[in-house]
Amino acid sequence: MKNANSHIPVDKLSPRRLMCLDACTRCGECQNWCPVYSLTENEKVTPRAKIKNLKAILKAQNGFWGLFKSEIPPDTMSDFLTGLYECSCCNQCHFVCPSRIDTVELWENVRAAMFISGLGPIPEQRTFCQNLVKYGNPFKKEQSARADWIEDGLQDGTLLQRPELITENKASVLLFIGCTATFDEKVNKIAKHTVNILSKAGIKFGILGTEENCCYGKLRRMGDPTFTQLAQKNIEKLNDLGIDTLVSACAGCFKTLYSDYPKVGRQKYKIYHLSEYLDMLIRQGQIKFEVPVPGQVTYHDPCLLGRHNNIYDAPRHVIEAIPGMELVEMERVRQFSRCCGVGGGLKIANHDLQEAASVRRIKDAEETGAEYLTTPCPTCYAGLLGGALKAESQIKVIHMAELAARSMGINK
Amino acid sequence: MRWSVHMLIFWGFIGLISLSAIAVALETVIPESSETARYMLYGEGHNIYKLAGDLFGLMLLLGLAAAFLRRFIFRAQQLNTDIYDTTTLIFLILLVLTGFILEAMRISLSAPVPELQYSFVGYRLSGIFFSEGEWVRAAASVTWTLHAFLTATLLAYFPHSKFMHVINSPVEIILNASEERTRGDLYI
Ligand code: SF4
Ligand code: SF4
């Protein structure tokens, strides 16, 4: 990282975001709700402090007094960096801010400017971005390894049948697996369950297999400008498939494809998160949950699905459609759901903090007395799984696809 | 509590600004001979105007006093007061106080007519200044100058201060609501 006096290029900040800086009334409501602040009581991470520090830096670099004294106190810059990157971009602050500041848009815009200037992100995140661009996935695996989960699943019987490649069957529905469900061995059963569900429902779909690329959402989250050109390539490739529907079982990929790609280019297909797609299939009678899964379950709203994309009801409908299953809500749900800490690059910036956030969410879940904790996102699932382990919790963390598969009688 | 404080300051301000706008309109665009001007300058309108002025001023003062107590005496946990917050608060308190003192001095210098009682705060305060005619006249000039100076400084300070939220926050709320409507995810 460069020194504290490198410039944040103000021309890379949109006027819309610069305007927000003066909309902050310093009321501190965000501090009451920020999941990271609640763990550390470190004021730097609160939007109020971030905005104040950013204003101070921009004024010193661009304001009238900056002509005479443009040095920024080193504390201000380092506090700002900590606050900016030890933030899970969960969007909770936006929902409680009386001025309705679009905080995460602001953080991401500033992160992009910081990336260009070399002031950010923190070294671990920069290396992560470089590896992501180099390997095309965050797991530093070869592209050919994208089919490994299929072979494993067929071998151990967790995959009912080999999913067809969309480039061969020319189906109109693409199941976009995503890197986490592809490469993370603790998580790749989600890919298998999803394929099993769609196969059993008789959906004509295909996957990209070794042709699938990362959605590159993490680059956007951390401000790497390479995102735009890689997203553009992905859009062209996906458009060329001639599909009309894309289904993603990951809240992160969904957010990137659904909310970030439209700023880059036009996509000629509809994008659904798996929970929406399942909800639709259930209503159309194409999916029938016949096997009871008895017990109480509580649901964790992934930030990127809920607060970022307003999808709260579809996953709850899916759970409620499972016979025997009773949904019990945690105290903080929907717009106020407590973040599990995995998003926004926090896991890379400060792993302990991310784990503490997941542990905290596990405690929320335990308070409901439910036997299961479910979520429809592989990344939240992995984070919560780690949190449950750390907290030595008895609660069973289960991805929504696994619940659905069980109730369809296709789970081993 | 904090919303009551904000509401007192907000409505106090809006009220005083509206009254100032009426005064400017009476000075500039409304003909002196018109029915409205006569009602506002010499009729019942004048008394209501004075009453409203004191009422809004008092609301503002109460709000500011409560804000002061929250920040410096009770130190509400979520508040984090920096020099800019303090400057803003002191500015406003001085502005309202000089406003009331000025009004009290003016009342003490004018002929005692019952209508003065409509300025219920200024009227009560004016008792302090009754005895000292000449001294009060000089002090009134100083206070007027101070009040005018504070007002002008406030206007100059406005764009550099947290007062900007008066403009930017509502604009942000409106823009955000329209963006959310466009994206189809408008929430309550
Ligand atoms: S809630 Fe909004 S206005 Fe209040 S301090 Fe936080 S960012 Fe600023
Ligand atoms: S986005 Fe979430 S973690 Fe980041 S400052 Fe806002 S509330 Fe805190």
Same domain, A197 and A248: yes
- DSSP result, A358-392: HHHHHHHHHHTT-SEEEES-HHHHHHHHHHHHHTT
User: What span, in angstroms and rounded, lies between the C-alpha atoms of A50 and A356?
Assistant: 22
CATH number, domain of A355, equals 3.40.50.11810
Same domain, A353 and A373: yes
Position A5 in a domain: no
Same domain, A155 and A239: yes
Q: Tell me the CA–centroid distance for residue B79 and ligand 2, in Å.
A: 18
Q: Tell me the CA–centroid distance for residue B159 and ligand 1, in Å.
A: 18
Question: If pLDDT is split at 50, 70 and 90, which confidence band does B149 have?
Answer: very high
Closest chain B residue to A105, measured at CA: B176
Q: Tell me the CA–centroid distance for residue A344 and ligand 2, in Å.
A: 9
Place of tokens 């008394």: B47
Cβ <8 Å between A26 and B172: no
CATH number, domain of A249, equals 3.40.50
pLDDT at residue B188, as a whole number: 38
Same domain, A239 and A346: no
Cβ <8 Å between B172 and A20: yes
End-to-end CA distance of chain B: 22
Answer whether residue B121 shows pLDDT above 90: no
Task: Kindly list the residues from chain B whose CB atom is less than 8 angstroms away from the CB atom of residue A25.
Answer: 162, 165, 169
- Edge-to-edge strand ranges of the sheet holding A372-375: A325-327, A295-299, A372-375, A396-399
pLDDT at residue B106, as a whole number: 83
| Number of folded domains that form chain A | 3
Position A197 in a domain: yes
Say if residues A395 and A366 touch (Cβ distance below 8 Å): yes
What three-state secondary structure class fits A300?
coil
User: What span, in angstroms and rounded, lies between the C-alpha atoms of A221 and A199?
Assistant: 33
**Domain boundary at A240, A261, A282, which?**
A282
Say if residues A163 and A175 touch (Cβ distance below 8 Å): yes
Same domain, A278 and A296: no
Which element (helix H / strand E) includes A36? helix A35-40
pLDDT at residue A3, as a whole number: 52
Name the residue of A82, A84, A103 to mutate for ligand 2: max ligand atoms within 8 A of Cβ.
A103
Cβ <8 Å between A100 and B176: yes
Instruction: Read off the pTM.
Output: 0.89
User: What span, in angstroms and rounded, lies between the C-alpha atoms of A22 and A16?
Assistant: 11
Query: Ligand 2 pocket: which residues have CB below 6 Å?
Result: A 34-36, 45, 47, 87-93, 103-104
Answer whether residue B70 shows pLDDT above 70: yes
CATH number, domain of A30, equals 1.10.1060.10
Position A412 in a domain: no
Position A126 in a domain: no
**Domain boundary at A282, A311, A346, which?**
A282
Tokens of A40: 């550390």
Q: Residues in chain A with pLDDT < 50?
A: 4
Same domain, A293 and A261: no
Residue of the CA atom closest to atom 1 of ligand 2: A89
Same domain, A174 and A276: yes
Cβ <8 Å between A23 and B177: no
Same domain, A262 and A231: yes
| Residues 6+ positions from A276 with CB-CB distance below 8 Å | A311, A314
Choose among A344, A349, A341, A342: nearest CA to A123.
A349
Residue B161: count other Cβ atoms within 10 Å of its Cβ.
17
**Domain boundary at A233, A261, A282, which?**
A282
Same domain, A207 and A293: no
Q: Tell me the CA–centroid distance for residue B7 and ligand 2, in Å.
A: 27
pLDDT at residue B114, as a whole number: 73
- Flag whether residue B182 sits within 8 Å of chain A, measured between CB atoms: no
Same domain, A263 and A331: no
Give the tens place of pLDDT for each residue, A337-396: 999 999 888 999 999 999 999 999 999 999 999 999 999 999 999 999 999 999 999 999
- Flag whether residue B80 sits within 8 Å of chain A, measured between CB atoms: yes
DSSP A207: B
Same domain, A256 and A379: no
Better-predicted residue by pLDDT, B38 or A314: A314
pLDDT at residue B185, as a whole number: 54
Domain that holds residue A243: 132-282
Place of tokens 């404080």: B5
Position A204 in a domain: yes
Position A1 in a domain: no
Q: Show the domains of chain B with their CATH numbers.
A: 2-171 (1.20.950)
| Residues 6+ positions from A382 with CB-CB distance below 8 Å | A180, A184, A186, A187, A342
Same domain, A277 and A293: no
What three-state secondary structure class fits A141?
coil
Position A2 in a domain: no
**Residue B39 CA to its chain's centroid (Å):** 23
Position A125 in a domain: no
